[in-house]
A and B are shown apart, each in its own frame.
Chain A
Amino acid sequence: AQTVTQSQPEMSVQEAETVTLSCTYDTSESDYYLFWYKQPPSRQMILVIRQEAYKQQNATENRFSVNFQKAAKSFSLKISDSQLGDAAMYFCAYRGETSGSRLTFGEGTQLTVNP
Chain B
Amino acid sequence: NAGVTQTPKFRILKIGQSMTLQCTQDMNHNYMYWYRQDPGMGLKLIYYSVGAGITDKGEVPNGYNVSRSTTEDFPLRLELAAPSQTSVYFCASRYLETEEANYGYTFGSGTRLTVV
Q: Which residues of A contact B (CB under 8 A)?
A: 4, 6, 33, 35, 37, 42-45, 47, 50, 52, 91, 99-108, 110
From B56, B102, B107, A44 is in contact (CB under 8 Å) with: B107
From A44, A100, A101, A108, B42 is in contact (CB under 8 Å) with: A108
Residue with the greatest number of chain B CB neighbours at <10 A, chosen from A100, A107, A108: A100
Task: Judge whether B103 and A43 touch: CB under 8 Å.
Answer: no
Chain A residues, CB < 8 A from B104: 35, 37, 47, 50, 103
Number of interface residues of B (CB under 8 A): 27
A47-B58 Cα distance, complex, nearest whole Å: 22
Q: Which residues of B contact A (CB under 8 A)?
A: 31, 33, 35, 40-45, 48-50, 56, 58, 88, 90, 92, 94, 101-105, 107, 109-110, 112
Task: Judge whether B103 and A108 touch: CB under 8 Å.
Answer: no
A-B contact count (CB 8 A): 57
From B31, B35, B90, A101 is in contact (CB under 8 Å) with: B31
A-B contact pairs, 22 of them (CB 8 A): A35-B104, A37-B104, A42-B109, A43-B109, A43-B110, A44-B107, A47-B104, A50-B102, A52-B102, A91-B42, A100-B33, A100-B56, A101-B31, A102-B58, A103-B45, A103-B104, A103-B105, A105-B35, A105-B42, A106-B42, A107-B41, A108-B40
Task: Judge whether B44 and A101 touch: CB under 8 Å.
Answer: no
Chain B residues, CB < 8 A from A100: 31, 33, 48-50, 56
From A4, A50, A107, B103 is in contact (CB under 8 Å) with: A50
